[in-house]
């Protein structure tokens, strides 16, 4: 957790290491990316590569990759350009409907809040596919604390239409 600044190339190598045959290398690479996320912005090309690991069979790799992915996608979504459709398509698959936990740390709120930020930032720029509305349905039907955010997103979205 020191102030080391990593190069784009190093971040790319860490993402490539997620493909390693060695499980420990995959976990350490994912954790390194997770630790680097606060000081580094991952550009779109890196996020497209990282997207492939959010559903990894190794829980540590999946959780760390998901957190890094959604936090950086939230930053990217705040720019004027709409984010690529491939990013929007994966959001319903990574929205946490249960608990996302690794050891004692719970990542549910971090992931879900970033996904809602992405949707809020995109709702005036992009036409949502039907699968995005599954997230809305779930939140509106459950006792979820994010109802007000969803209503705000839908309100902005319908203004665009």
38 pLDDT band, cuts 50/70/90, is confident
Q: Is 8-160 CATH 3.30.70.1380?
A: no
> Using an 8 Å Cβ cutoff, are 93 and 135 in contact?
no
pTM summary value: 0.92
Percentage of residues in the chain having pLDDT higher than 90: 83
Give the closest residue to 132 by CA, choosing from 99, 96, 66, 88.
88
Q: How many residues does the chain have?
A: 161
Q: Concatenated DSSP letters for 81-103?
A: SPPPHHHHHHHHHHS-SS--EET
- Rounded Cα–Cα distance for residues 29 and 15 (Å): 7
Look at residue 75 in the predicted model and tell me its pLDDT.
Answer: 95
- Rounded Cα–Cα distance for residues 50 and 143 (Å): 32
HSE-up of residue 39 (Cα within 13 Å, Cβ side):
13
> Using an 8 Å Cβ cutoff, are 55 and 90 in contact?
no
Most confident option among 14-23, 38-47, 94-103? 14-23
The full set of domain ranges for the chain reads 8-160
pLDDT at 2 over 80: no
């Amino acid at each position: 957790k020191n102030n080391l600044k990593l190069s784009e190339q190093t971040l790319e190598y860490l993402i490539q290491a997620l493909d390693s045959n060695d499980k420990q290398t995959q976990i350490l690479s994912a954790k390194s990316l997770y630790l680097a996320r606060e000081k580094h912005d991952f550009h779109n090309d890196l996020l497209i590569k990282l997207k492939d690991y959010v559903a990894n069979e190794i829980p540590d790799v999946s959780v760390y990759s998901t957190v890094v992915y959604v936090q950086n996608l939230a930053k990217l979504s705040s720019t004027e350009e709409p984010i690529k459709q491939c990013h929007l398509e994966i959001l319903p698959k990574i929205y946490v409907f249960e608990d996302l936990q690794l050891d004692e740390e719970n990542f549910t709120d971090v992931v879900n809040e970033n996904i809602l930020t992405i949707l809020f930032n995109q709702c005036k720029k992009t036409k949502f596919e039907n699968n995005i509305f599954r997230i809305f349905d779930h939140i509106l039907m459950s006792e979820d604390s994010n109802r007000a955010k969803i209503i705000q997103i839908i309100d902005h979205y319908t203004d665009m239409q």
